[in-house]
Amino acid sequence: MPENAQPAGVAVSFARDIVPLFRPMDIQCMKGRNVFLIDYQFMSTPDNAAMVKSYLTGDSTPRMPYGGPYWSDDSIQLLQSWIDGGYKP
């Protein structure tokens, strides 16, 4: 099973699966930019989730997390699965 993969039929959870992917320094850095990575209300807004994903993939710059190490494709796919799955808490 790929890194961070969920077993079939298990919904991706923000608290269980997404929050642990963010390092404390990422959380603090982005908080200064009014981006609240571990705040479910903030992240479950489609525009905010899409914005964060675009920084993680490098589609927006500077790429996040600043200076790396960058998220693996599996971690980005896990975030996308959470989005596609309806932003489960």
- The tens digit of pLDDT for each residue in 30-55 reads 999 999 999 999 999 999 999 999 99
Domain count for the chain, please give it: 1
Residue 77 lies in a domain: yes
Q: How far, in Å, CA of 44 to CA of 50, rounded?
A: 10
Residue 6 lies in a domain: no
Tens digit of each residue's pLDDT (9 = 90 or more) over 63-85: 999 889 999 999 999 999 999 99
DSSP 50: H
- Spell out the residues 6+ positions from residue 55 whose beta carbon is closer than 8 angstroms to its own: 61, 62, 63, 64
pLDDT of residue 9: 73
* C-alpha 21: how far from chain center: 7
For 61, counting Cβ atoms within 10 Å of its Cβ (0-12 exposed, 13-18 middle, 19+ buried), the class is exposed
pTM for this predicted structure = 0.88
- Domain residue limits at 25: 14-84
Residue 4 lies in a domain: no
pLDDT of residue 24: 96
Residue 6 confidence (pLDDT) above 70: no
Residue 66 lies in a domain: yes
